[in-house]
């Protein structure tokens, strides 16, 4: 379901981990079983709440990685060494473990394919996760809208979903992906080898950028710089949708 | 320039979604300070303040504050918002 109507307030639900799969040395995808999950839209997130034995609670937001049509809800979580929630999710949580989850959250940072305009996605580090939900949704629903992902990470080993993204881009259906590695590149690397900048964004922007949408997600400084550059290139400010992660540093 | 520790209004969706039936991230707010119209998602948000504070991205006026007082009571200060335009119920289109 591309659109679900969830009337009423959000409340905390119990999520049970059904499986976990490592994505990189720091990131894990958790597939969850959430009874009566109402469905979600591509780009939405959930809030996760952990409660310690002494009652201390910590809440953090994580983007949904799965497409709405996928059989189960999946989150991809990157470990922050000084984090209060991600270390448990990435290194401890195992099938059968439970935690509290609130969502789906957000109606702004959402792309569900209802517009024909080509869409540019720009992700820094784990900011690629909600953009992956959009790319997966486009593929699952065979949405013909052109979509391009510019994905910045520190090194090749830090890229999430690499083989799946390359597979999606290998088809001739209007999806392509461009990588930018900021710290280390492997021999023979053909992608960009620097931080995302205005010249790079000018290269990857669609000719229709004066009317078409863009979605930018990543650490706060990354999002600020990319969004400002996109507006300078002619993207309408109201069409550049942003979501900031705070200081995770993943894309810089 | 926004502080590196700042988030944005997307972070308000969950906490406010427990209180209200509309989605604050896509609601369009008019700032009572400078008159800027923007979706709640575009506010600059600090979650490490006492409570949660959202500021206008243009003039930095506080748009919204949300504090749990520890007794099960929540206080929401909306005095920095002149109007809120709400398009549809949460999740609707």
Tens-digit pLDDT string for chain B (93 aa) = 456 678 999 999 999 999 999 999 999 999 999 999 999 999 999 987 789 999 999 999 999 999 998 888 999 999 999 999 998 665 544
Greatest distance between any 2 Cα atoms in chain A: 56
- Domain residue ranges in chain A: 13-105, 119-244
Res B93: pLDDT: 41
Closest CA to A83 of A49, A60, A101: A60
Q: How many helices and strands in chain B, by DSSP H and E? A: 1, 8
Q: Using CB atoms and an 8 Å cut-off, which of residues 3-32 of chain A contact chain B?
A: 3-11
| pLDDT in the model for residue A203 | 97
What is the per-residue pLDDT for A248?
47
| Cβ contacts of A103 on chain B, cutoff 8 Å | 14
Q: Which fold has domain A13-105?
A: Elongation Factor Tu (Ef-tu); domain 3 (2.40.30)
Per-residue pLDDT reduced to its tens digit, A114-163: 999 999 999 999 999 999 999 999 999 999 999 999 999 999 999 999 99
Interchain pair A241, B41: CB under 8 A: yes
> pLDDT value at position B50?
82
- Whether A1 shows a pLDDT value over 60: the answer reads no
SS3 for B75?
A: strand
Closest C-alpha to A237, from B82, B13, B53, B58: B58
Give pLDDT tens digits for A206-217.
Answer: 999 999 999 999
Q: What is the mean pLDDT of chain A?
A: 94
Residues 6 or more apart whose Cβ sits within 8 Å of residue A155: A181, A183, A184, A185
Measure in Å the smallest separation between the Cα of A172 and chain B Cα atoms: 30
Which pLDDT belongs to residue A162?
97
> Quick one: pLDDT at residue B70?
82
Q: How far apart are CA B12 and CA B25, in angstroms?
A: 7
Between chain A and chain B, the number of residue pairs with CB atoms below 8 A apart is: 101
pLDDT value at residue A251: 35
Which CATH code fits A119-244? Answer: 3.40.50.80
ipTM of the complex: 0.91
d(CA A103, CA A59): 13
pLDDT at A4 over 80: no
Digit-coded pLDDT (tens) for A171-218:
889 999 999 999 999 999 999 999 999 999 999 999 999 999 999 999
Confidence category of residue A3, pLDDT binned at 50, 70, 90: very low
Question: A244 contacts in B (CB within 8 Å)?
Answer: 6-8, 10
Partners of A61 in the β-ladder? A47
Tens of pLDDT along A46-65? 999 999 999 999 999 999 99
Give Cβ neighbours of residue A161 (< 8 Å, ≥ 6 apart): A23, A128, A132
- Determine the distance in angstroms separating the CA of B58 from the nearest CA of chain A, rounded to an integer: 13
Q: Is residue A250 predicted with pLDDT exceeding 80?
A: no
Q: Are B21 and A7 inside 8 Å of each other by CB?
A: yes
């Amino acid at each position: 379901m591309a659109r679900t109507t969830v009337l009423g307030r959000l409340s905390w639900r119990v999520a049970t981990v059904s499986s976990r799969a490592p994505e990189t040395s720091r990131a894990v995808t958790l597939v969850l079983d959430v009874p009566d999950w109402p469905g979600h839209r591509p780009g939405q997130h959930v809030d996760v709440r952990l409660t310690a034995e002494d009652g201390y609670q910590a809440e953090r937001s994580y983007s949904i990685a799965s497409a709405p049509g996928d059989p189960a809800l999946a989150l991809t979580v990157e470990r922050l060494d000084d984090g209060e929630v991600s270390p448990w999710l990435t290194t401890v949580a195992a099938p059968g473990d439970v935690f509290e989850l609130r969502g789906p959250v957000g109606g702004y940072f959402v792309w569900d394919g209802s517009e024909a305009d080509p869409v540019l996605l720009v992700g820094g580090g784990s900011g690629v996760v909600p953009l992956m939900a959009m790319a997966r949704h486009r593929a699952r629903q065979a949405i013909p809208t052109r979509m391009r992902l510019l994905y910045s990470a520190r090194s090749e080993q830090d890229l999430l979903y690499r083989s799946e993204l390359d597979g999606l881009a290998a088809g001739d259906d209007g999806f392509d992906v461009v990588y930018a590695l900021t710290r280390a590149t492997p021999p023979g690397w053909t992608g960009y080898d620097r931080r995302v900048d205005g010249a790079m964004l000018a290269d990857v922007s669609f000719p229709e950028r004066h009317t078409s949408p863009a979605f930018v997600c990543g650490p706060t400084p990354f999002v600020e710089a990319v969004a400002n550059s996109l507006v300078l290139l002619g993207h309408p400010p109201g069409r550049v949708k942003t979501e900031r992660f705070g200081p995770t540093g993943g894309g810089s | 320039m926004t502080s590196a520790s700042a988030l944005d209004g997307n972070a308000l969706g969950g906490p406010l979604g427990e209180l209200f039936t509309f989605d604050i991230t896509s609601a369009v707010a008019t700032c009572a300070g400078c008159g800027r119209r923007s979706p709640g998602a575009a506010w600059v948000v600090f979650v490490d303040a006492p409570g949660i504070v959202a500021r206008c991205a243009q003039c930095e006026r506080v748009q919204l504050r949300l504090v749990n007082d520890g007794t099960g009571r929540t206080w929401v200060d909306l005095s920095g918002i002149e109007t809120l335009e709400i398009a549809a119920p949460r999740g609707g289109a």
